[in-house]
Structure 1
Amino acid sequence: MLPGPWDAASARALAQAGFEALATPSAGLAAALGYVDGETPADEMFAAVARITRAVDVPVTADIEDGYGIAPGELVERLLEAGAVGCNIEDSARGTLKDPGEHADYLAEFCAAAAGRIFLNARVDVFVHGDGNPERAVERAASYVAAGAECVYPIMAPVAVLPLLRSGVEGPLNALALLTPDGPSPAALGGLGATRITFGPQLQRRATAAAAEAATGLR
């Protein structure tokens, strides 16, 4: 389980709570930096990730959206400079799925440049920007694994299709755990085939809601 810090203070709190690794959420960092998700400049995102990695002793993996149009080799170097040990790279841009073959080629170049120094979690956006077809998600995931991705992340995949994804995908499978009363627990997601659990920007949003509630009380 990798919870999502949005700044140095939250990263320290999560590490002190006993989590052994953290995963920055792009939406959470965007909100903390004053941007809409998907509009954070690359320089600011990498600087924010660097502040988080400097604040903790546990490994940190970074959500770098679709790679910001940066060449694979340079992207690897920027992640290493920021102190990240892994990253998410999504297969959509501005709400549109990328060509899977071209994206797989990009990931292959990234993995070759990383040479084992960066853990690649390849995001599959079929369930958020595509038609939600599980078989199409499996096809994309398989091509990304073949390109060298160590893990695939079919974000927002319905719980009911996790066993199908598990049967069709080699290697680790990332699932998003929803922090809602009726959402499946991380343990339940693991029982359905997930091997890596992340939480996106949910902790940042809860913290912001708590701050708003406290501010209302002060007034």
Structure 2
Amino acid sequence: MPLTTAEKRATFRKLHGSGCFVIPNPWDIGSAQALQHMGFKALASTSAGFAWSIGKADNRVTLDEVCAHLTALCSATDLPVNADFESGFAQEPEQVGANVARAVRTGIAGLSIEDSTGDKDKPLYERALGIERIKAARAAIDADTSGVLLVGRCEGFLVGQADLAMVIDRLQAYAEAGADCLYAPGIRTKEQISAVVKAVDPKPVNLLLGWPGLSVAEAAELGVRRISVGGSLARAAWGGFMRAAQEIAEKGTFTELGNGYAGGELNKMFG
């Protein structure tokens, strides 16, 4: 029988207790079901991958679109789903909390809140406001005892503020504000990763790996609890699509189509 939402959430929390697991990022129902078929234990949505799938740029989707997408993903798989909830689709803590409460009702097992503003001149929320936003998300999750896991993200390395001390300070503050898991996308070196892990211990750390580099085993040795790939799987899929389509458009040949995954195997997997 399909797992209940409560069972998915309990399973998700248990995964964060020890070891290191990969939480790949599907962008639609088919990719989510394929990842479940491959044996992954949990999934995470990708704001970029989903946006591209509906013909939008990243960070240009609406709250309504994201909640409908999360509902579809959660309904399509027995795996727990962690939501890439961007910056909460609001600035003020009160509205962030209201939006988080809505996201919780989609059936997600986890949810991340970023501290990026989308303003290139002032890319991060002020520290105090960032903390209040995490507190509001925590309160919204706790209001219905949902058990959804809250991830606090500091986007410093992604917005050109690669100050490790600042990022660690914020992650520690977000942990104190109620985040269950901490995330600093963009850190890459073993020294950076190890410093973040130690700084927020015993709370788990999510590591973004969207490029060749560390293996799962190496990340685990550094104390990383979970690994996500962001929009990288979606980019890989788009890479194959664009190469094949451009060859047809520009050369009138069809060589790249020979590299596609076997249709019969796809039918078998989804059958």
TM-score range, shorter chain: over 0.9
Identify the residue that residue 218 of structure 1 maps to in structure 2.
Answer: 254
**60-69 or 187-196: bigger deviation:** 187-196
Match among 60, 73, 94 for residue 97 of structure 2: 73
Identify the residue that residue 3 of structure 1 maps to in structure 2.
Answer: 24
- What TM-score do you get using the length of structure 1 for normalisation? 0.93
Identify the residue that residue 151 of structure 2 maps to in structure 1.
Answer: 121
Unaligned runs of at least 5 residues, structure 2: 1-21, 248-252, 256-271
- What TM-score do you get using the length of structure 2 for normalisation? 0.76
Residue pairs, 1:118-197, within 5 angstroms: 118-159=148-189, 160-170=191-201, 171-180=203-212, 183-197=213-227
- Which segments of structure 1 move beyond 6 Å, counting only runs of 4 or more? none
Amino acid at match of 2:210: L
How many Å apart are 1:126 and its aligned residue? 1.5
How many Å apart are 1:81 and its aligned residue? 2.4
Unaligned runs of at least 5 residues, structure 1: none
Question: Using the alignment, how far apart are the partners of 2:179 and 2:135 within structure 1?
Answer: 8
Contact 1:177–1:185 at 8 Å: present in 2 too? no
How many equivalent pairs are there?
217
Contact 2:175–2:182 at 8 Å: present in 1 too? yes
Which secondary structure state, in structure 2, belongs to the residue aligned with residue 97 of structure 1? coil
Deviations 1:60-104, CA, capped at 9 Å, x for gaps? 011011011171432233212222111111111114011111111
Question: Using the alignment, how far apart are the partners of 1:61 and 1:126 within structure 2?
Answer: 21
Structure 1 residues 131 and 72 mapped into 2: Cα distance closer, same or farther (>3 Å)? closer
1:51 and 2:76 equivalent?
no
Question: Using the alignment, how far apart are the partners of 1:61 and 1:201 within structure 2?
Answer: 14
Match among 103, 106, 121 for residue 130 of structure 2: 103
How many Å apart are 1:130 and its aligned residue? 4.5
Deviations 1:156-210, CA, capped at 9 Å, x for gaps? 1122311111221131011111342xx1112212212211110001101111112
Contact 1:62–1:88 at 8 Å: present in 2 too? yes
Question: Using the alignment, how far apart are the partners of 2:182 and 2:101 within structure 1?
Answer: 22
How many Å apart are 1:22 and its aligned residue? 0.2
CA-based RMSD = 1.7
How many Å apart are 1:123 and its aligned residue? 1.0
Contact 1:90–1:123 at 8 Å: present in 2 too? yes
Question: Using the alignment, how far apart are the partners of 2:164 and 2:243 within structure 1?
Answer: 40
Higher strand share: 1
Contact 1:97–1:130 at 8 Å: present in 2 too? no
Match among 63, 86, 91 for residue 115 of structure 2: 91
Question: Using the alignment, how far apart are the partners of 2:34 and 2:210 within structure 1?
Answer: 20
Deviations 1:23-51, CA, capped at 9 Å, x for gaps? 01111111111111111111111111211
